[in-house]
């Protein structure tokens, strides 16, 4: 097992990704706890639509930042789609309304309608997290992401987000241009800012997000996988997609590893796992591959999370 120092995780954001059910929430919680024990103020966030931090910490978390450890400064938050959409509306609602109402008579409800467009919520999640990080209330934010595909889509956010906004605004622009031409005929309401100024604002937000997620000093990406064909395959895919987007992954946790070959079943299982572990080590020579043994029980409650922390950072 490669030894990793917890100091290596003294960044602003740690993003834990991987396929469904491989132990993302478990590892994110264990890393968060270890960082909190290391005198950092830590927030662990789950953006999974099925809340899971409440289960592992055995405490109702929900969409409020909730302290989950009596001694250490460890907080948890389950980000719901409602809260992300609410923030999105607060951020973009007035601008969108300003733009559209400058040439059309609309109710503010129209903003809700735009906010319900597919993708907006995921697209805005990254900004939500960036704001939490930059808000400075925490030393580190550990993000337990939704299963792989979902998160990758999220990380394409900046481009997607702009494309989405631009597609919508092109339509308004055309209409706006047309109305400008005939403005003597129709009475056009004055917009405080021009549409182009507003779009420029969206663009710079998007650039800010890109710079943030690509800054290796601030953000660390970690992938959790299992030593089985499907886990290995998906890891390859996730890694190349992240790296294509210039997001560097340094650490891979291989979870559910059989510790003792104490029976025929475990011998066979270990042989199978060893094959995939060797493959991962050979394929990702320059990455830190951490093996995490399968405990004989499920990981629930601070004591058990602590055991995982110790296994990861001995
Ligand atoms: N090393 C381990 N030893 C024993 N049990 C483990 C270990 N890692 C994870 N588990 C158990 O496996 C189950 C799935 O783990 P976890 O919820 O962390 O996965 P996940 O990747 O977050 O899943 P999802 O994609 O559904 O969010 C849980 O019941 C957890 O307790
Ligand atoms: Mg989970």
Q: Would you say the CB of residue 25 lies under 6 angstroms from ligand 1?
A: yes
Question: Ligand 1 centroid vs 20 CA: distance in angstroms?
Answer: 9
Q: Where are the alpha helices (DSSP H) in the chain?
A: 24-37, 53-57, 81-101, 109-115, 120-134, 148-155, 157-181, 195-213, 229-244, 264-283, 302-312
pLDDT of 1 above 50 = no
Q: Would you say the CB of residue 35 lies under 6 angstroms from ligand 1?
A: no
Residue pair 166/245 in contact by the 8 Å Cβ criterion: no
Beta bridge partners of 109: none
pLDDT of 182 above 60 = no
Which own/partner pairs from 194-200 qualify as long-range (CB within 8 Å, at least 24 positions apart)? Answer: 195/99, 195/169, 198/95, 198/98, 198/99, 199/165, 199/166, 199/169
Please give the pLDDT value at position 286: 92
Q: Would you say the CB of residue 225 lies under 6 angstroms from ligand 1?
A: no
Q: Would you say the CB of residue 295 lies under 6 angstroms from ligand 1?
A: yes
pLDDT of 42 above 80 = yes
Q: Is 161 exposed, middle or buried (0-12, 13-18, 19+ CB in 10 A)?
A: buried
Question: Ligand 2 centroid vs 113 CA: distance in angstroms?
Answer: 30
CB atoms within 10 A of CB 25: 24
Q: Would you say the CB of residue 151 lies under 6 angstroms from ligand 1?
A: no
The DSSP call for residue 6 is G
pLDDT digits (tens, 9 = 90+) for 191-246: 556 666 766 777 777 778 888 888 989 999 999 999 999 999 999 988 988 888 78
Greatest Cα pair distance in the chain: 87
Q: Would you say the CB of residue 48 lies under 6 angstroms from ligand 1?
A: yes
Q: Which residue, by CA, sits nearest to atom 4 of ligand 1?
A: 295
Please give the pLDDT value at position 119: 59
| Residue reference for tokens 């917009």 | 191
Q: Would you say the CB of residue 236 lies under 6 angstroms from ligand 1?
A: no
pLDDT digits (tens, 9 = 90+) for 240-255: 888 887 888 999 999 9
CB atoms within 10 A of CB 189: 11
How far is the C-alpha of 4 from the C-alpha of 313, rounded, in Å?
Answer: 6
Question: Which of helix, strand or coil describes residue 258?
Answer: coil
Residues composing the chain: 314
Question: Ligand 2 centroid vs 52 CA: distance in angstroms?
Answer: 6
Question: Ligand 2 centroid vs 97 CA: distance in angstroms?
Answer: 37
Q: Would you say the CB of residue 298 lies under 6 angstroms from ligand 1?
A: yes
Give the residue-averaged pLDDT of 120-145: 86
Q: Which residue, by CA, sits nearest to atom 9 of ligand 1?
A: 23
Question: Ligand 1 centroid vs 25 CA: distance in angstroms?
Answer: 7
Quick one: residue 39, left, alpha or beta (phi over 0 = left, psi -120 to 50 = alpha)?
Answer: left
From the list 201, 189, 130, the residue with the least C-alpha distance to 165 is: 201
pTM of the model: 0.86
Q: Which residue has the higher pLDDT, 257 or 156?
A: 257
Residue pair 142/45 in contact by the 8 Å Cβ criterion: yes
> How large a percentage of the chain has pLDDT more than 70?
77
* Whole-number average pLDDT of the chain: 83
Question: Ligand 1 centroid vs 240 CA: distance in angstroms?
Answer: 24
């Amino acid at each position: 097992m490669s030894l990793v120092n917890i100091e290596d995780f003294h960044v602003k954001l740690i993003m834990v990704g991987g396929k469904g059910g491989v132990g993302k929430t478990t590892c994110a919680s264990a890393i968060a706890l270890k960082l909190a024990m290391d005198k950092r103020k830590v927030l662990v966030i789950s953006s999974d639509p099925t809340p899971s931090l409440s289960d592992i910490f055995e405490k109702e978390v929900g969409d409020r930042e909730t302290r989950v450890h009596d001694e250490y400064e460890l907080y948890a938050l389950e980000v719901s789609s409602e809260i992300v959409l609410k923030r999105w509306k607060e951020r973009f609602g007035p601008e969108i309304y300003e733009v559209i109402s400058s040439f059309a008579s609309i109710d503010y409800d129209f903003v809700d309608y735009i906010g319900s467009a597919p993708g907006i919520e995921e697209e805005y999640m990254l900004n939500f997290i960036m704001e939490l990080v930059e808000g400075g209330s925490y030393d580190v934010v550990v993000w337990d992401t939704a299963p792989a595909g979902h998160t990758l889509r999220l990380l394409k956010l900046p481009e997607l987000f702009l494309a989405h906004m631009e597609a919508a605004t092109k339509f308004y622009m055309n209409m706006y241009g047309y109305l400008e031409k005939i403005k003597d005929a129709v009475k056009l309401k004055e917009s405080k800012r021009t549409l182009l100024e507003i779009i420029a604002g969206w663009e710079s937000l998007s650039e800010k997000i890109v710079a943030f997620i690509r800054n290796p000093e601030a953000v660390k990406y970690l992938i959790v996988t299992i030593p089985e064909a499907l886990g290995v395959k998906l890891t390859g895919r996730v890694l190349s997609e992240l790296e294509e987007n210039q997001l560097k992954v340094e650490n891979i946790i291989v979870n559910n590893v059989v510790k003792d070959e104490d029976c025929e079943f475990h011998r066979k299982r270990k042989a199978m796992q060893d094959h995939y572990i060797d493959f991962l080590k050979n394929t990702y020579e320059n990455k830190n591959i951490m093996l995490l043994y399968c405990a004989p029980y499920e990981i629930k409650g601070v004591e058990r999370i602590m055991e995982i922390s110790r296994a990861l950072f001995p």
